[in-house]
Chain A
Amino acid sequence: MAFALFFPDPLPYVEGLRLQEALHAARVADRIPDTVLFLQHCPVITLGRRGRSNHLLAREDQLRARGIDLFEASRGGDVTYHGPGQVVMYPIIRLGQGGSGSHGYLHNLEEVAIGTCAAFGVEAWRREGKNGAWTAAGKIAAIGFKIQRWVTLHGMSFNVEAGLGGFELIVPCGLAGEPVASLRSLLGEATPSIVQVAGAMADRFEAVTGRVLERIPCGDPLPDVLAAALNPA
Chain B
Amino acid sequence: MDTPRNLKYTNSHEWVRVEGKQVVVGITDFAQDQLSDLTYVELPTVGDSFSGQEEVAVVESVKAASDVYAPISGTITAVNNGLLDRPELINTDPYGEGWLFKMLPDDATELESLMDADQYDQSMPDEE
Give residues in A with beta carbon < 8 Å to B: 49-50, 74-77, 95-102, 104-107, 131, 143-150, 210
Q: Report if B84 contacts A (CB, 8 A).
A: no
Q: When A99-B125, A99-B126, A101-B124 are in contact, do A145 and B33 touch as well, CB less than 8 Å?
A: no
Complex: chain A residue closest to B127, CB-CB: A102
Interface contact B30-A96, CB-CB below 8 Å: yes
Q: What B residues does A99 contact at CB under 8 A?
A: 125-128
Which of B11, B34, B65 is in CB contact (< 8 Å) with A49? Answer: B65
A49–B61 Cα distance when bound, in Å, is: 10
Q: Contacts A101-B30, A106-B64, A150-B12 given; 7 further ones with Cβ under 8 A?
A: A75-B64, A76-B65, A96-B34, A100-B125, A101-B127, A102-B127, A149-B12
**B126 contact set on A, CB distance < 8 A:** 99
The A interface is mostly helix, strand or loop, or mixed, namely loop
In the complex, the answer to whether B67 meets A148 with C-beta atoms within 8 Å is yes
Instruction: Count residues on chain B whose CB falls below 8 Å from chain A CBs.
Output: 26
Complex alpha-carbon distance, A105 and B33, angstroms = 8
A104 CB, min distance to chain B CBs, angstroms: 5
Where the two chains meet, the residues of B that have a C-beta atom closer than 8 Å to any C-beta of A are 1, 11-13, 30, 33-36, 39-40, 60-67, 69, 123-128
Check A77 against B62 for contact (C-beta < 8 Å). yes
Is A143 touching B63 in the complex (CB atoms < 8 A)?
yes
Whether B60 lies near A50 (C-beta < 8 A) is yes
- List 5 A-B pairs, minimum CB-CB distance, nearest first: A147-B66, A76-B64, A76-B65, A99-B128, A106-B36
Task: Give the residue of A97, A143, A147 whose beta carbon is less than 8 angstroms from that of B125.
Answer: A97
